[in-house]
């Protein structure tokens, strides 16, 4: 058991994963991956619109912004996929025999990592090409 000094907060590291918390962890990660997907789509769409209307030094700023935001979204996506992978290895005992749990354990996590990288690199390449055209 870990306590935080004089604060009334405690955290029991050994008994944290139960069915309810597992569902909440999964839900939170699914929401987060959805938000990063929407942000990637917005980056691509708004980036293309900006590339069409900017010139000169503004294009350079657009490239830098697209790359920085793209890197942030890549790190966020990879972190979320990793947390989902860890959750697939931490399924509570009472959930082990459900169809969801059996399927969740079999997800091809390396493929998801690869797809996240391909999408973000592809968006960055497309935006850099659009800004330099």
Per-residue pLDDT at 61: 86
How far is CA 84 from each of CA 26, 46, 91, 126, rounded to the nearest angstrom? 7, 29, 11, 29
User: How large is the average pLDDT for residues 89-109?
Assistant: 91
Residue 80 near residue 88, CB atoms below 8 Å: no
Q: How many domains does the chain have?
A: 1
Residue 124 near residue 73, CB atoms below 8 Å: no
Q: Pick the residue with more confidence: 1 or 67?
A: 67
Asked if the model's pLDDT at residue 13 lies above 50, the reply is no
Residue 50 near residue 62, CB atoms below 8 Å: yes
Which domain range does residue 60 map to?
28-44+56-132
Find residue 11's DSSP bridge partners.
2
Start-to-end C-alpha separation, the chain: 59
pLDDT tens sequence across 49-96: 988 888 777 888 888 888 899 999 999 999 999 999 999 998 888 888
- Give 9's pLDDT tier (boundaries 50, 70, 90): low
Residue 25 near residue 89, CB atoms below 8 Å: no
100 domain-assigned: yes
Share of the chain above pLDDT 70, in %: 88
66 domain-assigned: yes
106 domain-assigned: yes
101 domain-assigned: yes
DSSP helix/strand/coil, 104: helix
12 domain-assigned: no
Asked if the model's pLDDT at residue 7 lies above 50, the reply is yes
Instruction: Please state, in angstroms and rounded to a whole number, the distance separating the CA atoms of residues 132 and 44.
Output: 15
128 domain-assigned: yes
92 domain-assigned: yes
Asked if the model's pLDDT at residue 38 lies above 50, the reply is yes
121 domain-assigned: yes
């Amino acid at each position: 058991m870990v306590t935080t000094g004089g604060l009334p907060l405690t955290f029991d590291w050994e008994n944290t994963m139960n069915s309810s918390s597992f569902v909440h962890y999964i839900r939170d990660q699914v929401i987060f991956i959805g938000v990063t997907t929407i942000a990637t789509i917005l980056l691509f769409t708004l980036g293309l619109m900006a590339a069409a209307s900017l010139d000169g030094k503004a294009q350079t700023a657009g490239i830098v912004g697209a790359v920085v935001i793209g890197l942030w979204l890549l790190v966020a996506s990879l972190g979320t996929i990793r947390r989902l992978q860890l959750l697939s290895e931490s399924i509570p005992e009472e959930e082990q025999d459900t169809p969801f749990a059996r399927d969740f354990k079999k997800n091809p996590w390396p493929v998801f990592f690869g797809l996240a990288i391909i999408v973000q690199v592809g968006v960055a390449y497309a935006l850099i090409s659009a800004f330099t055209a």
